[in-house]
Structure 1
Amino acid sequence: MGQIISLTSQDGNQLSAYRADPTGTPRGGLVLVQEIFGVNSHIRSVADKFASEGYLVIAPALFDRIEKGLELGYTPDDVKRGVELKGKVSLDQALTDVAAAQKVAAEAGKVGIVGYCWGGLISWAAASKADGFACAVPYYGGGIQNMIGEQPKIPVMMHFGDQDHSIPLPEVEKIQAGHPDIPVHVYSAGHGFNCSERGSYDADASAKAYERTLAFFRQHIG
């Protein structure tokens, strides 16, 4: 369903992206922001799934700034490598690359942004700092608790797991208290519960979050 395309960011950075096109007329566009593991098989499968629902999906390879074509798995060594790479890409750089993806996704009309793990944080930042998005859905974005003061310009929905050791439940509750107008869904699951390639995958939580996310996109994108 998908193909690899090239993007050029405003600062001149050239990066690849996975593009998944729907069948027929698109409902709208989505920018899908990766975990710390690159645009790997899991991220591509999520892009394909949203495309099957009618969205043009663009998943930019944010690690291309450091190492082209990098795909990681979910071993402890992969996690360590992903954390190292994330530390070499600033939030501003990531948002610049996300903006390049948004321009392509806008071919389909209104554009939403959805992100997982590191991508969840970037999606939260995009909701207040970026232009051109209709809505944002961060999944278990580590670091959002440190950016509670951000004020989104667009509708936002969040997903967390109550067994996420990297984002303890008290931190999620701080986010809820700081933004009582934002729907924050908490599941009986751990970090990365949406990823079927991780040991923390939870099919029930993943399905519920996806159903809610899809309804949110239908409401704000089409």
Structure 2
Amino acid sequence: MPTRNDQIITPDGSFGAYISVPDKPNGHAVVVVQEIFGVTPHIREVTDRYAREGYLAVAPDLFWRVEPGLSLTHSKEDMQRAFSIVGQFSEELGVLDIGHAAAYAKAQPGITGGVAVVGMCLGGKLAYLAAARLPVDACIAFYGVGIEKDLAEAGGITAPLLMFFGGKDKYVSAPVRHDIKKAVSGNAKVAIRVYEEADHGFYTRGEPDVIKSAHAEAKDFLSKNLPHGAGAA
């Protein structure tokens, strides 16, 4: 399974992206949206995970305006640095960059089906916003942090959206999940799945059986919601 690093051109500059190319393409593409730590080995592994399933997978460097090429660990020092960088990050521009990454993916050879957005943590919130703002075909938000600050967007969601949460996640507590569920309850395009025993980060750093189960649900959601073009499976 070949991988590469590309530059995605935008009207106000260019940014890097990690690209994972499937050996057996299914005609679809996935934009994998990073956590607060940048395009880390964890994010590249998720990108490769989708490529193994047949998706062209693109992980854009959304922090390129603040600190391009960032890849932090979960050490105390790196956590502090990550929160500092997030404070300088524009979600508005981040969503636009996801749109540029989706357009890049759509233009690649062999993409005849749909383009989805899959995000975790910060990326989970951005996937939620993408479902409301971008012309993408489906979005998956894993434990999106801060969604409750933009519940007004819920009524504008047009792309099918699946949101995963962990029942033990202190960053997205039960009252927050309740507010999110209430806000999206009138939108038939939105579904919520809670893994009651899971904590924050379970899709990248959780128990193997939880990762496997969540990924199977994500794949099923994409299979049902991405449009099929010539050659797409």
Q: Percent identity?
A: 31
Superposed, which structure 2 residues align to 1:46-65 within 5 Å?
46-65=46-65
Give SS of 1:67's match: coil
**Contact (CA 8 Å) 2:37, 2:82: kept in 1 or not?**
yes
1:148 aligns to what?
Answer: 151
The answer on 1:112 being equivalent to 2:116 is: yes
Q: Post-superposition shift, 1:156?
A: 0.5
CA contact (8 A) 2:46 2:204 kept: no
- Aligned equivalent of 1:189: 198
Inter-partner Cα distance in structure 2 for 1:211 and 1:220? 14
Give the match's secondary structure for 1:62. coil
Distance 1:24 1:122 in 2: 29
CA contact 1:9–1:99 (8 Å) conserved in 2? no
Aligned length in residues: 216
Within 1, Cα distance between the matches of 2:81 and 2:207? 24
What letter corresponds to residue 183 of structure 1 in structure 2? A
| Residues 118, 141 of structure 2: 8 Å contact kept | yes
How much does 1:97 deviate? Answer: 1.3
Partners in 2 of 1:128 and 1:118 — Cα distance?
16
Q: Is the 8 A contact 1:117 1:192 kept in 2?
A: yes
Residue matched to 2:230? none
Matches of 1:120 and 1:77, distance apart in 2: 23
Matched, 1:26 2:34: no
Structure 1 residue identity aligned to 2:74: Y
Check if 1:88 corresponds to 2:94: no
TM (normalized to structure 2)? Answer: 0.88
Alpha-carbon distance in 1 for matches of 2:41, 2:8: 20
Shift of 1:26: 3.1
Whether the aligned pair in 2 keeps the contact of 1:116 and 1:139 (CA below 8 Å) is yes
Find the residue that maps to 2:26 and give its secondary structure. coil
Q: CA deviation at 1:203?
A: 2.6
**2:171 corresponding residue in structure 1:** 166
Quote the Cα distance in structure 2 between the aligned partners of 1:96 and 1:147: 16
Q: 1:7–1:15: 8 Å Cα contact kept in structure 2?
A: yes
Query: How many Å separate the matches in 1 of 2:180 and 2:160?
Result: 15
Question: Unpaired runs of 5+ in structure 2?
Answer: 227-232
The one-character-per-residue Cα deviations of 1:81-136 (angstroms, maximum 9, x if unpaired) are: 111111212111101211121112113131000000000011101111112x1010
Partner of 1:42: 42
CA distance in 2, matches of 1:75, 1:194: 19
